[in-house]
Structure 1
Amino acid sequence: MATPVDPSNVDQLRAWDGNQGDFWTSRADRFNEGVAAYQDDLLDAARIDRAAKVLDIGCGSGQTTRDVARRAVDGSVLGVDLSSSMIELARGLAAREELSNVAFEQVDAQVHDFPEAHFDVAISRHGVMFFGDPVAAFANIARAVRPGGRLALLTWQPAERIEWMIKFRTLLAAGRDLPLPPSTGPSPLSLSEPDVVRELLSTTGFDDVRLHDLAEPMYFGRDVDDACDFIAEQHAWLLADLAEDEKARAIADLREDLAEHQTERGVLYDSAAWLIEARRR
């Protein structure tokens, strides 16, 4: 049965339940490794108690969902995502880890009929920036959270604070003037401006909105070869229109930059995220 989605999210469903979702399913471990430095901050902000009922929005392969389930041992956790392949992977990993208090569903959180005032906490690790109608989406999420319940989110900060985003696009653009992701609409940067976040959440049912500035290194691979393979695959759309000699030069430039970011812990680039906390009115 087709997943019901709001018309504004049809393109997102096509991407996340298509090639983009397949890519992140195959590279789930790399994504989890990449943002691992932010994980404990998010979980601590969520303040999960043993009996908590938790909603994980844009759960992907379910790493955060499973980590929460290990804290809410007497509660329950629901992870939701648009990607059927990631949901399938998440279910398999939860079963392998013998977690009986976790479930996964392929739904559009913007319109899904969650039980009203059911969850104690709603969380998301870089999964809420892509709604076609964020006001409707967060109003729906608020409806699902009990009064006094909590919201804990990770979103990216503006691009100038995210070294890897600017570097990779610049290097793989090969001299072309390609724009960064927009700060409006479905985009990694749609919740990067604090005033936008505060207004959005305060008008959709949340109070006490706080943004905490986090800056952590992002991991892209154990060495230059490993990181280059991953980044070139992730950004294949940037390379697709280049002639072969241009593509070779772009990859060579990327490899040179990766070598400059090689550390004992692997290839690392700076990044910055907002840890957003709020309370359901």
Structure 2
Amino acid sequence: MSEVAAGNAAMRDAWDGDTGAFWAEHADRFDAAVAGHRGPFLEAAAVVGGESVLDVGCGAGQTTVDLAPRAAPAIVTGIDLSTRLLAIAARRAAAAGLTNTVFETGDAQVHPFPPGGTDVVVSRHGTMFFADKPAAFANLARALRSGGRMVLLTWQGLEHQEWIRSFLTILAAGRDVAFPPPHGPSPLSLGDPDGVRALLEGAGLVDVELTGHRAPMTFGDDPDDAVGYVTGQQAGLLADLSPAAREDAIAALRADLAAHHDELGVRYDSATWIVRARRP
């Protein structure tokens, strides 16, 4: 791995450790969960043949694999902190017969990308966790050629994420609920449109535009299928509970999952921003 910023070391340890192992085990399930946001994001990226692409926080590589056929013969590069997820990404690309994908282990906040070497920077839920976002986005902006564009998929604020509010409240089991903060390394840290515009404009980008998109998140085929996945995501919340309290919390979660079960699966409301910007 190339250099990792000091502020991102804990994130590196998590994503190249137990956190990365969990998401690698459930990579297909996560892709299915956010599938409702996939089409509009790819459409916004608008990648065409011959455009080189950098996929930031590429994880198990679905976006990289989605865009590679569109970008060919240009290269689509995925970068992530998790070696486990990158291994899945490489296997997926090989299974799809792609010859124009490259996967790199690295911290995009400080990675030495070739200046002006990329036509399009994309990220599906991969840019919210930088310790120093101004430095990270300045680094990504430098990677873009003049006229190149950045297209991000980020979560809107907590009030638009039924799934986060429901799961964390239930599994807190009467304790104070520690929702993800709107600042710092957090899933919700790019939820404020004015803050996103200021951040990207501060990195030297122009024509910053945010488009809201709503779609349900799917957590399983039925409550029995979903409960293990959700409790695995939130294992830290359950770890400090007594056995009886843990049993009660899981029962309450199962009931909530059942209330959100329909013919399409166990589904909760969610909302994203599709963020577009351009390097002048």
> Matched residues in 2 for 1:263 and 1:166: separation?
20
When normalised by structure 2's length, the TM-score is 0.99
Please give the root-mean-square deviation of Cα atoms over the aligned residues, in Å: 0.8
Task: Give distance in 1, aligned partners of 2:55 and 2:152.
Answer: 10
| Matching residue of 2:260 | 261
Deviation, 1:3, is 4.0
Secondary structure at 2:214's aligned position in 1? strand
2:76 counterpart residue number: 77
Give the CA deviation at 1:28.
0.1
In the alignment, residue 4 of structure 1 is paired with which amino acid?
E
**CA distance in 2 between partners of 1:259 and 1:150 (Å):** 42
**Correspondence for 2:87:** 88
2:22 corresponds to: 23
Matches within 5 A, 1:209-228: 209-228=208-227
- Which secondary structure does the structure 1 equivalent of 2:272 belong to? strand
Instruction: Report the secondary structure of 1:251's partner residue.
Output: helix
CA distance in 2, matches of 1:129, 1:45: 19
Residues in 2 aligned to 1:41 and 1:118: alpha-carbon distance in whole angstroms: 26
Corresponding residue number in structure 1 for 2:201: 202
Q: Over residues 160-186 of structure 1, what are the superposed CA-to-partner deviations in whole Å (9 max), with x where a residue is unaligned?
A: 110000000000000101221111110
Residue 212 of structure 2 aligns to a residue whose secondary structure is strand
Q: Which residue of 1 aligns with 2:55?
A: 56
SS in 1 for 2:130: coil
Structure 2 partner of 1:148? 147
CA distance, structure 2, for counterparts of residue 131 and residue 274 of structure 1 = 18
Aligned equivalents of 2:7, 2:279: Cα separation in 1 = 25
Structure-2 residue corresponding to 1:13:
12
Structure 1: 5+ residue runs without aligned partners? none
SS at match of 1:122: strand
Partner Cα distance (2:243, 2:2) in 1: 40
Write the distance in 1 (CA, Å) between the matches of 2:253 and 2:19.
22
User: So what's the TM-score if we normalise by structure 1?
Assistant: 0.98
Q: Deviations over 1:84-138 (max 9, x none)?
A: 1101111111112110001100010000000110111000000000001000000
- Same amino acid, percent of matched pairs: 51
Deviations 1:3-52 (A, max 9, x none): 42010101110111110011000000011001111111111111101111
Question: Aligned equivalents of 1:238 and 1:24: distance in 2?
Answer: 17
**Over residues 123-155 of structure 1, what are the superposed CA-to-partner deviations in whole Å (9 max), with x where a residue is unaligned?**
000000000100000000000000111111011
Task: State the 1:240 CA deviation.
Answer: 0.3
Look up the match of 1:270.
269
CA distance in 1, matches of 2:213, 2:95: 32
Match of 1:183 in 2: 182
CA shift at 1:73, angstroms? Answer: 2.1
- Distance in 1 (alpha carbons) for counterparts of 2:16 and 2:3: 13
SS in 2 for 1:115: coil
Per the alignment, residue 66 of structure 1 pairs with 65
Alignment of 1:104-123 (within 5 A): 104-123=103-122
Structure 1 stretches (4+) deviating beyond 2 angstroms? Answer: none
Report the CA distance between 1:72 and its aligned residue: 1.1
Whole-angstrom distance in 1 between the partners of 2:182 and 2:17: 24
Aligned-residue offset at 1:205: 1.4
- 1-structure distance, mates of 2:200, 2:2: 26
User: 2:2, 2:111 within 8 Å by CA — same for their partners in 1?
Assistant: no
Aligned residues: 280
